[in-house]
Amino acid sequence: MSPQTPQCAVILCRISDARDEDTTGVDDQERHCRALADRLGWKVWRVIVENDVSAYKRRKIQLPDGSYGLRTFRPGLRDAITWLTTGEADGLIAYDLDRAVRDPRDLEDLIDAVEMRKPRPPVESVTGSLRLANDADITMARVMVAVANKASRDTGRRVANARLRMATNGEYGGGIRPFGFHKDGVTVEPAEAAEIVRATEALLAGSSLRFVTKSVNAAGVRTSRGKEWTTMELRQMLMRPRNAGLAVYRGEIVGRASWPAIVPEESWRALVALLTDPARRTSPGNKARWLGSGLYRCGGCGRPVVCSLSGGRRAVYRCRPTRGETRQPGQHVVRVAIPLDKFVEELVIERLSRPDAVDLLVQDQREDVAPLHDQAVALRARLDEQAILHADGVIDARQYATGSSRIRSQLEEIESRISAASQGSVFAGVVDTDDPPATWKGLDLGRKRALLDALMTVTILPAGRGRAPDGSYFDPTSVKIEPKR
């Protein structure tokens, strides 16, 4: 019998694999643990639930002393050990030893917490496999955890090898249903695939990720779990190699997959390059809110202008020196934003509405990517040959590293050309519609800015004082338009 009857016992429930946030496993554990507490006469103070949490897998974390080490990530267990150490809790119940700990270091921390208190806080389990009442119990727990840890390592190795084999063969490795595919992970779901194509094309054409996410949610499209999209979730989904029919193992592309590509590989690579570009502005504070901000140029110094609120709370365009530079000499311009944007917008719409506007799509055709793909395949094959030669001892590590580095450099250049050649036409879905002006009005600001940048250069010239002949303060002759197309 325990030397004391806990009045503030903690129940620890854990399961390592819970699909779709299913809590059935931990709910059953809690019910059995409460029944044991009732039989023992213990009073339950806290219930810790670690659902879908591994007791074996470790991650690199920063330790209290500032150094880094590999530890299991078990916040719930850490709380329980702390409460036992401080005396806030005076007993622990788990369903089984495996449910409580599978890492020897975690067990030793639990043993320390028990042995530091006098009298020892009792630790029990429903199955009887976890008891730390004396030296024999502790020794048995250490042996059982060591055996369980080895079993986890063996299982992890077998699973990893199986997943690598499946990925190399282009097979689906299972998991949560991927958006765009049916539950088998191979058969394309047409409606969801169409959304992936639309979102990819919109982003490559200049739309913002925020706007595309809003449009997808407004259309009633939901994730494979039935939830609304966040910008981060949509970004991650669109960057999946599986969308291009590529199989992945531990973040590395290992070959073609058994399922069809939803988007061409070159379009996918272009999208990844776009969304991972360090120069891409993602901070809400740096996001352009006006049509010409950063695009229009000052007629005095030639610098891009930005839009800001003037003293009268009017939005105006003005040039600013970059950080660390002094303002260049010359006549700089300041121009009220709204009438200028309206004027430029009318010019853009007029250009998009011309009968020859569809020719802009033809002008956007870029380098033929078919030969580039052939070169990329050949380079990847050479990388595989290098690995085989090194494994067979034909070349040493230095030769392998030098050769691989050169091949990878060539491959990166080819993939960069594929991405550049696969950027979607900014004019697609605008000039080829029945009503380009109406289409323009429905575009987000990012897409409008991309169209403006592709069509013309706008320079703001110094303007005279007073009203124009028509009574307005805006003078169209003070704006220089240089067509690019």
pLDDT per position as a tens digit, 374-432: 677 778 778 878 888 878 888 888 888 888 888 888 887 877 666 555 555 678 778 88
pLDDT of amino acid 285:
47
pLDDT of amino acid 2:
45
pLDDT confidence bin for 17, thresholds 50/70/90: low
Domain ranges of the chain: 9-153, 190-284, 288-363+435-483, 370-421
295, 304 contact by CB (below 8 A): yes
Looking at CATH, the fold of the domain delimited by 190-284 is given as Hect, E3 ligase catalytic domain fold (3.90.1750)
Looking at CATH, the fold of the domain delimited by 9-153 is given as Rossmann fold (3.40.50)
CA nearest to 173, candidates 189, 161, 188? 161
Higher-pLDDT residue of 8 and 269 is 8
Overall average pLDDT of the 247-252 stretch: 78
CA distances from 376 to 159, 258, 290, 428 (A): 31, 20, 41, 28
- Which of 13-27, 299-313, 359-373, 432-446 has the largest mean confidence? 432-446
Q: Please check the confidence at residue 196 and state whether its pLDDT lies above 90.
A: yes
Give 305-372 as a 3 state SS string.
EEEEECCCCCEEEEECCCCCCCCCCCCCCEEEHHHHHHHHHHHHHHHHCCHHHHHHHHHCCCCCCHHH
Per-residue pLDDT tens digits for 78-133: 999 999 999 999 999 999 988 889 889 999 999 999 999 989 999 999 998 889 99
Overall average pLDDT of the 298-320 stretch: 82
Overall average pLDDT of the 165-174 stretch: 69
Dist. CA 108–CA 94, nearest whole Å? 16
DSSP 8-class letter at 261: P
Q: Which CATH class is domain 370-421?
A: mainly alpha
Per-residue pLDDT tens digits for 202-229: 888 878 888 899 999 999 999 998 999 9
95, 125 contact by CB (below 8 A): yes
Dist. CA 253–CA 267, nearest whole Å? 16
